[in-house]
Structure 1
Amino acid sequence: MLPHILKIEELNEHIESQNSICKKYDSDIKPIDAQLFIGLATGLEFEPINGFRHPEHGTMNGWYIWSGEWSDSHDFFKPVHASCLVEMCPEILKYLSLDVGFRFQIDRKGYEDVWFDEKITRLE
């Protein structure tokens, strides 16, 4: 159990960069509940890396992240703890306090696009 706790503490180290991203893109700051799951579709080995935030629901904190091609398959996203991103793709962590309705697309060369999408603010 201790390694999981340490990973959550590592998430908290990114609060300053999360606040900076929220300010840059005019988003309310909405930190994730690290006990809930992120929907992760791939190992994030491809580019670009994409993410969007729905409202929290069930055991999901609302974030869905993937790289490479999108799929409409019902099992495209798998639930993982946010703490897994500390090791897999730490560059994503600074986006996780963006409010519901925000999307991002990044690559490892410095490309960054963040925008608000009203359509994803409601679960339908």
Structure 2
Amino acid sequence: MDPNEERRFMKAHKAHYDNLHFVRDSMQGIQERCVCGKRLLHERAPAEVYDYLPGKRFFTCKEYKDDVMHYRQPWVCAVEEELQIMKTRLEKCEEHKSLVVKLEVENHELKAEVEKLIARVSELEYAA
């Protein structure tokens, strides 16, 4: 095989696997658009499919093909992941809120100390 052709072949495979990795990592929570840029549809599985509950809901890419490059994510999984993401964000917000309260208390204490120091300096200036 020609070295240039082999290099092109390897680059194409690497790009393909990078895209697969990107698709897999991006399938968290409720997505607005597929990786290909198409919008996602809310669909239900037909009643005659018996390998899972009839009427199971999915977020599916408009251009979905079973090639692993487009989304078809079960609705339940997406909602669970979205709730987990929101829970993590809420915990971080609560941590920030507690830090803000601590900083406000510390700021109030420092302001009181500065006022005391200003009063002391004015007393020393008046005495001198």
Q: TM-score, normalised by structure 1?
A: 0.22
Higher strand share: 1
Query: RCO greater where, 1 or 2, for CA within 8 Å and sep 6 or more?
Result: 1
Larger Rg: 2
Structure with greater helix percent = 2
TM-score normalised by the chain length of structure 2 = 0.22
